[in-house]
Structure 1
Amino acid sequence: MAAPLEQRIRLPQLRLLVAIAETGSVQRAAEALHVTQPAATKMLRLLEAVVGDALVQRGSSGSFLTPLGEILVKRARLVLAELRNAEEELGLWHAGAAGHVTIGSLPVATPMLVPAALRQMELAAPLVSATVIEGSSDAMFRELKAGTLDLLVGRFYSGQDADLSTETLYESVFRLGVRAGHPLAGRTRLDWEEVLAYPWILPPGGVRTRPALDDMFKRARVRTPDVRVETASWLVMRSLMLSSDVICPMPVEVFLQDAKLGLARLLPFELDLKLPPVGVVWLTQHAPSPAARVFIEQLRAVSLRAV
């Protein structure tokens, strides 16, 4: 029993057959492929022996394909086209324009930064796919060090962990946000007593901004707000903020879209918060993959417009 064609036909033979069909001459096909005519003729004879019949006939005006040759050349063109596509995709992968990246996202990055970078990446490298995992700082750092994540986007101090490489993206300012119809929304000046008269939503203890907020209250020598809900989920915060009179301390860039739509307002009240900048981290011992590097490039571009 003869072996399958895929084991007996060689790519140079398929290239030769396509070249003969395009040039109408074995000699010109040989020249196009940079081989001698005797070598091309031998290659053609071996291919004809594999398929069991003539593929090319010679006439007064040159060479042309037999009906069997026409059948095979059609498939040969498809095979060669697929290989060119594969070559392109492999090149894109090595250049970081294809592949997969698993992204960890902390609350500061989830509403705006990561989605914006993903949209940019879809345009710049449509062959790159991504998985985004949300969670608290502690949980996400565990996932990163376990190798589950390629990188993590959030708030970090550079050099805080020898196992991690950190790139700062931008400094983020916290403000107090409320729904557009909130009783304080139209004020031009506010003090602690007035903003503490309403319930707040704060992140839970596992989120790194919570200790900074607690320290801020202590430095200001004011009581802790009436906290009705603790959550790290921007979706929960946003829903409660837009449907009640709660006050949400959040990064300015997180509020921008709702503010532009007239749904939310930033209160004229400065927060003396000491927070690390927004950045991206990855394991030092594992350099970012090509796909991860593409995403980091988009993070840099988006960060220039973040605030």
Structure 2
Amino acid sequence: MTVRRYLDQRLKLHHLRAVEAIVAQRSILKAAAVIGLSQPALTKTLRELEDILQQRLFDRLPRGMRPTEAGLLLAQTARRILAELRRLDEELDRLADPEGGTVAVGTLPVAATGVLPGTLTRLKAAHPGISVRLEQGRTEELLPKLAAGEIDMIVGRLYEPAVPDGFPREPLWEEPISILARAEHPIFAVRKPALEQLRRYDLILPTVSQRVGQEIETLLDMLALEPTTSLRSSSYGFIREMLHATDLISVMPRLMMAGDLLRGTLKVVPLPVPAPPRPAGIILPRDRELPPAGHAFIACLRAHVAEIGQRGLAATTTEARAAPPRARRQPAPQPA
């Protein structure tokens, strides 16, 4: 028997915000804090929603909430609708100010500290009216947001998906795992330091995602550098200060310190072995065009990456730089 729910007449935006928050947070208490409601008010909204849909949306667990199949379905729809409304808001702003607009960028951690500061500096100078929304996360966290329209693109390391996902990937640069040291470090007294010389210095290593961590460990194994005595930190600022102030050396994706490399206060230590390739670039939507602000952002990203390449700090993909953002639809590059 078909049930008429009249969702177009009965569902309200606060219902959609509620279910999206609960699915994301897996907790009534945390979701209430995120959307600025009291816990009793959010519980009441959820009861209203389940009554309208005549479906149980969540299983109540001793610790948190688990969405049912109906809850996940509604949350996916809610995410798309709310994203379209945000997009409408931004498009209305663009009509009011043709030189403005908004671009929403998902970024991986290395890109966030590496290529984005220079890119945003260029964007602000060339298009002061454009606003940027940044969301940092892992690829698997950002792809659903890209699919739902919550973000316009993802910038960072290009990992091959476990299964084909249809998102166009454009490699723009390489961000190899490298050894970094301060410009006046004694290691640079030798043009091509041998492994024995590298092993004289203690390491400071970033605490990063599992994927990047595995790539760092691979290079450490190739160089037979001992990580057990190293200092580790999740703080980019702390690592940067220790590199500038001491004779510590670090092993990391070199563009994590792109600003200091461009300024010349840090330098890349020549490796005695070839570094494995690590392609990076942008992941684009599969079913919609970028807004004008998105095209402006990509133009500034390409220009900044080109400068990094001209300075010899990273290899760039010339073909990708020359292609328009929607022109290249190819499988993801192989991971390092």
> The TM-score by the shorter chain falls in which range?
0.5 to 0.7
CA distances 1:121-141 after superposition (whole Å, capped 9, x unpaired): 223332210122334555545
Gaps of 5+ in 1: 1-86
2:201, 2:247 within 8 Å by CA — same for their partners in 1? yes
Matching residue's letter, 1:196: R
Matches within 5 A, 1:141-156: 141=143, 144=146, 147-156=149-158
Partners of 1:274 and 1:148 in 2: CA distance: 33
Residue in 2 aligned with 1:204?
Answer: 207
Return the offset for 1:262.
5.2
Residue in 2 aligned with 1:188?
Answer: 191
Return the offset for 1:155.
1.0
Residue in 1 aligned with 2:173?
Answer: 170
**For 1:227, which of 230, 250, 261 is the aligned residue?**
230
Gaps of 5+ in 2: 1-91, 310-336
**For 1:268, which of 267, 270, 273 is the aligned residue?**
270
1:164 aligns to what SS in structure 2? coil
Return the offset for 1:295.
0.9
CA distances 1:240-283 after superposition (whole Å, capped 9, x unpaired): 21123321234555556535655333323345332331201133
Residues 193 and 221 of structure 1: CA distance in aligned 2, closer, same or farther (over 3 Å)? same
C-alpha root-mean-square deviation of aligned residues, in Å?
3.5
Partners of 2:248 and 2:146 in 1: CA distance: 34
Return the offset for 1:305.
1.5
1:185, 1:266 within 8 Å by CA — same for their partners in 2? no
Residue in 1 aligned with 2:290?
Answer: 288
User: Alignment length, in residue pairs?
Assistant: 218
Residues 249 and 131 of structure 1: CA distance in aligned 2, closer, same or farther (over 3 Å)? same
Residue in 2 aligned with 1:52?
Answer: none
Partners of 1:136 and 1:234 in 2: CA distance: 17
Residues 238 and 119 of structure 1: CA distance in aligned 2, closer, same or farther (over 3 Å)? same
2:271 aligns to what SS in structure 1? coil
Is 1:121 paired with 2:123?
yes
Residues 271 and 175 of structure 1: CA distance in aligned 2, closer, same or farther (over 3 Å)? farther
Return the offset for 1:290.
2.5
Residue in 1 aligned with 2:334?
Answer: none
1:203, 1:230 within 8 Å by CA — same for their partners in 2? yes
Residue in 2 aligned with 1:279?
Answer: 281
Partners of 1:283 and 1:89 in 2: CA distance: 20
Instruction: State percent identity of aligned pairs.
Output: 24
More displaced stretch, 132-141 vs 279-288:
132-141
1:102 aligns to what SS in structure 2? strand
Residues 252 and 276 of structure 1: CA distance in aligned 2, closer, same or farther (over 3 Å)? closer
Matching residue's letter, 2:95: L
TM-score by length of 1: 0.58
Structure whose CA Rg is larger = 1
Partners of 1:225 and 1:142 in 2: CA distance: 37
**For 2:110, which of 95, 108, 111 is the aligned residue?**
108
2:203, 2:227 within 8 Å by CA — same for their partners in 1? no
Matching residue's letter, 1:288: L
Return the offset for 1:203.
3.5
1:200, 1:228 within 8 Å by CA — same for their partners in 2? yes
Partners of 1:205 and 1:146 in 2: CA distance: 27
Partners of 2:208 and 2:263 in 1: CA distance: 31
Matching residue's letter, 2:209: G
Return the offset for 1:237.
2.4
